[in-house]
Structure 1
């Protein structure tokens, strides 16, 4: 119902929202309704999967919306689906002109239905939600392709035949739609090179659990591992901790250009990372939200699963182009170039 919903809402949906069900009627006055029409309600998923949500997306979205003359009600679900639902109910009761939802373990679909019932359009932010009015993210299948290519190139650099290499595939949480895109893209590229996953644990965005999953895989394969495809830097840091325990170094992958990821690249323990500047995503999502709050219907350049979508281009980062991350302000040399990494930074011309 995504495109139909937006068409209908362009004239009436932004008149605010009222609670339905057990939340109780708001009995909004004209002033309250006006405030709702000027409010973008945002739900972020957690603080564990990435530091970007609080340190990056929150202030960027808040500033863009405020600068355009709108209010931003931004809350974090702290990795709790029940808290996510409670936040959504509270926001809808107070009033929203538009909702930006980062899905968390599938709960975004339930909140989307409540928002649509209340006449509020929904932007799926970073992670897909079926039936959303718009989707703003990076091209996440491309992210997976870049990660898969890291493994292919890493094996070739070590003169290992991809067709016979034993590769462990460490996915993200299977309930996250993006995790499926990452894995699909990676398998496409690795499969084309003849790589088959020797083991594929269930997947998670909890780094500690990911480390446990990899330890089990390492034990099962008796350490006979030539590379590890890992969906993000945080999980890959846990993988590398296990590898370090056995004094083993193999090509690994990741994304997010995190401090740990950048350090592991410089140390030669991670082939690269996929860099997705949150500023670009927040800017695009804010523009879509502002248009909807103004009663307009933005025209998206593409669709994904039937949802009008804005898919930004991810960037492969290695030691030779890492400077871009620092120049963009998304990492600092003081945080990355510490301890045994300092000499590696100097060798790479990073200061």
Structure 2
């Protein structure tokens, strides 16, 4: 009798759930208790991913959906590892992937596999190929333009006195191609480019070797400036320049702490700040909305970009900021990336005082 009663209660519950689904026009929307989001970042050599991107994204997801499950993966610069991690995330039942691709092209098959499984993909910072559902990044061509202009301004009349060396970053990163295009749009015809390199995996050691080779080939007195697509490369380049006794204008990107300190010392000219929190917050909001089955609102995807595979992707492109010696306090300090104490260690105390950082 008890078994019969339990069966009747269970049947009544099932009917009620079915009627509830019909009343709402289909299956019940997932609650925050049901949300599972996979966060796939490309590497940890660049300090931003573990120090800023991951904690900011996780914090925002938990703010919007306190009980959401977040599965974190770091591919350690390996496209193969990242493909395996996507498979793991799908097997775990993640409904949305926030994906910063190691290799935008090779990850396409994984993006297609996710789409076939009904899993949404938010492309983060780099636009992966394939049927991505949304994308958030900075205007990467604009980044290259800002870097190029800053280099020209720093060169001044010396622009025609010698040659520059260009380090464009990883050929598997679609952002690198945009940085390069933006920089060339400003630099071409204004300076002579003596050597130009791609640097696989954004490896600072490779950039160091490339710069050393350029110095040997061109002659140290003939190099008037260096375009570096990011701060990691700039670190390796700056070491090679110092070893050769050269101090010329040098660009960067990502506002890494060591880059800010090089700017204070005068061994790097500028970096590009792409504040991580706005980008992370938008990615997290997109992911939570998609996990809950919502349509992304227009203010979250105000533009559309076309991926390398030809897919039109609803997107947000944020505006980058140039950081130089005179605006450190109004940029990276004000935005909470670093405190003055973090920047102004004893080695940099005198440079900080000169720059008005107190």
Normalising by the smaller structure, the TM-score range is 0.7 to 0.9
* More deviation, 278-287/199-208: 199-208
- The C-alpha deviation readout for 1:255-307, integer Å capped at 9, x for no partner, is 11111111111111211110011101001111111221221221311111122
Q: Any unmatched runs of 5+ in structure 2?
A: 1-24, 307-311
Cα 1:14–1:259 change in 2 (3 A) is farther
User: Which residue is 2:141 aligned to?
Assistant: 141
Which runs of 5 or more structure 1 residues have no equivalent in the other structure?
1-10, 16-32
Matched residue SS, 1:255: coil
* Secondary structure of 1:216's aligned partner: helix
Structure with larger Rg: 2
TM-score where L is the length of structure 2? 0.84
Please name the residue that 1:346 is paired with: 353
Partner of 1:248: 246
Counterpart mapping for 1:38-117 below 5 A: 38-48=35-45, 50-69=46-65, 70-106=68-104, 107-117=106-116
How is 1:262-273 mapped onto 2 (pairs within 5 angstroms)?
262-273=260-271
Match of 1:123 in 2: 122
Partner Cα distance (1:13, 1:77) in 2: 35
CA separation of 1:196 and 1:12: change in aligned 2, threshold 3 A? farther
CA–CA separation in structure 1 for the residues paired with 2:26 and 2:90: 16
In the alignment, which residue of structure 2 is the partner of 1:221? 218
1:221-240 pair list within 5 angstroms: 221-223=218-220, 224-240=222-238
Aligned position for 2:304 = 303
Q: Equivalent of 2:256, from 248, 255, 258?
A: 258
Indicate the RMSD between aligned Cα atoms, in angstroms: 2.1
**Are residue 279 (structure 1) and residue 277 (structure 2) matched?**
yes
Q: Which runs of at least 4 in structure 1 moved beyond 3 Å after TM superposition? A: 11-15, 33-37
Q: CA deviation at 1:232?
A: 0.6
Task: State the SS of the aligned residue for 2:77.
Answer: coil
What is the DSSP-based 3-state SS (H/G/I as helix, E as strand, rest coil) of the residue aligned with 1:200?
strand
Deviation at 1:112, TM superposition (A): 0.7
2:211–2:241 CA contact under 8 A, matched in 1: no
Question: How many angstroms apart in 2 are the aligned matches of 1:12 and 1:59?
Answer: 35
Q: Which residue of 2 aligns with 1:172?
A: 169
SS in 2 for 1:229: strand
- 323, 327, 331: which is aligned to 2:334? 327
State the alpha-carbon separation in 1 of the partners of residues 149 and 305 from structure 2: 23
- 13 and 232 in structure 1: CA distance in 2 versus 1, 3 angstrom threshold: farther
- 3-state SS of the aligned residue for 1:321? coil
Distance 1:338 1:246 in 2: 26
Q: Deviations over 1:172-220 (max 9, x none)?
A: 10110000011111111112x5224211123230111111111111111
* More divergent stretch after superposition (59-68 vs 247-256): 59-68
> For residues 12 and 95 of structure 1, what CA distance do their matches in structure 2 show?
21
TM-score, structure 1 as length reference: 0.86
Does the CA-based 8 Å contact 1:136-1:310 persist in structure 2?
A: yes
Conserved? CA contact 1:101–1:108, under 8 Å: no
Residues 92 and 165 (structure 1), Cα distance of their counterparts in 2 relative to 1, 3 Å cut: same
Partners in 1 of 2:215 and 2:257 — Cα distance?
Answer: 25
